[in-house]
Amino acid sequence: EVQLVESGGGLIQPGGSLRLSCAASGFTVSSNYMSWVRQAPGKGLEWVSVIYSGDSTYYADSVKGRFTFSRDNSKNTLYLQMNSLRAEDTAVYYCASTLRRGSYQAFDYWGQGTLVTVSS
Amino acid sequence: DIQMTQSPSSLSASVGDRVTVTCRASQSISSYLNWYQQKPGKAPKLLIYAASSLQSGVPSRFSGSGSGTDFTLTISSLQPEDFATYYCQQSYSAPQITFGQGTRLEIK
């Protein structure tokens, strides 16, 4: 059974740093496209970042230069290092795996999410 | 960036109703359109990918159609468990993926 479990969220002051983790089971993260998607309280979904099976990473403009997506294949775990945090980064952060059918992609498995609150 | 606009933003309907949600892209995205369902406090769930392909395990009352810039999600006969928020998402410009703002489906 595929499972994604996020951790590491919490309350952090503006300008601070936090590292989120996403532990995967039932499949190998290194063979998949994996993403972080966030949702501010009461708002819609926003794609944050993706790591491809070849280790390439891409970021939304809103987090570029501040967030870093990485992967530990030995632990089958993903990480999102978040630096220079701002109030607008407050959200539930989900990790998600990507279903690929030819050139089509969609997020097929999601974790339960971890809440990051940036506030003084 | 490709902008995705859903309509309506909210919708009231009754059990057994046929419901349609619309999603419009700011430019042609071919069939690179997915639909998700999200219930309060839960992660989104994939319903439809590639505009019209039903994800495994999703009831057949859900269907998707469209291509280019205009897409629809249809629920043929609403069930109590279908009251949720629905999001469209484009993957045409992957890795720069964008979601619609959501459509909240409420009980009338």
- Say if the Cβ atoms of A45 and B102 lie within 8 Å: yes
Tens digits of per-residue pLDDT, B89-104? Answer: 999 999 999 999 999 9
Query: Which residue is associated with the tokens 């009461």?
Result: A42
Nearest residue on chain A to B34, judged by CA atoms?
A106
Determine contact, residues B49/B93, Cβ cutoff 8 Å: no
Span B50-54, average pLDDT: 98
Pairing of strands B10-13, B103-107: parallel
B45/chain A closest Cα distance in angstroms: 7
Span B70-75, average pLDDT: 98
- Tokens (6 digits) for B90: 């484009």
CA pair distance A117, A69, nearest whole angstrom: 19
Q: Which residues contact A8 (CB under 8 A, 6 or more apart)?
A: A18, A19, A20, A21, A114
Span B2-18, average pLDDT: 97
CA pair distance A106, B52, nearest whole angstrom: 12
What does the pLDDT read at residue B47? 98
User: CA angle A44-A47-A53, nearest 5°?
Assistant: 150
What does the pLDDT read at residue B90? 98
- Neighbour-count burial of B74, counting CB atoms closer than 10 A to its CB (0-12 exposed, 13-18 middle, 19+ buried): middle
What does the pLDDT read at residue A53? 86
What does the pLDDT read at residue A3? 97
* Residues of chain A with C-beta less than 8 angstroms from the C-beta of B94: 50, 105
Report how far Cα A108 is from the mean position of its chain's Cα atoms: 14
What average pLDDT values come out for chain A (120 residues) when binned by 10 residues?
97 98 96 97 98 93 98 97 98 97 96 98
Mean pLDDT value across chain B: 97
- The H-assigned helical ranges of chain A are none
- Tokens (6 digits) for A19: 């590292």
What does the pLDDT read at residue A67? 98
Q: Is the pLDDT of residue B108 over 90?
A: no
Chain A, chain B: beta-carbon pairs less than 8 Å apart: 65
What does the pLDDT read at residue A99? 94
Interface of B with A (CB under 8 A): 31-32, 34, 36, 38, 43-46, 49-50, 53, 55, 87, 89, 91, 94-102
The string of DSSP letters for chain B reads: ---EEEE-SEEEE-TT--EEEEEEESS--TT-EEEEEE-TTS--EEEEETTTEEPTT--TTEEEEEETTEEEEEESS--GGG-SEEEEEE-TTTTS-EE---EEEEE-
B102/chain A closest Cα distance in angstroms: 6
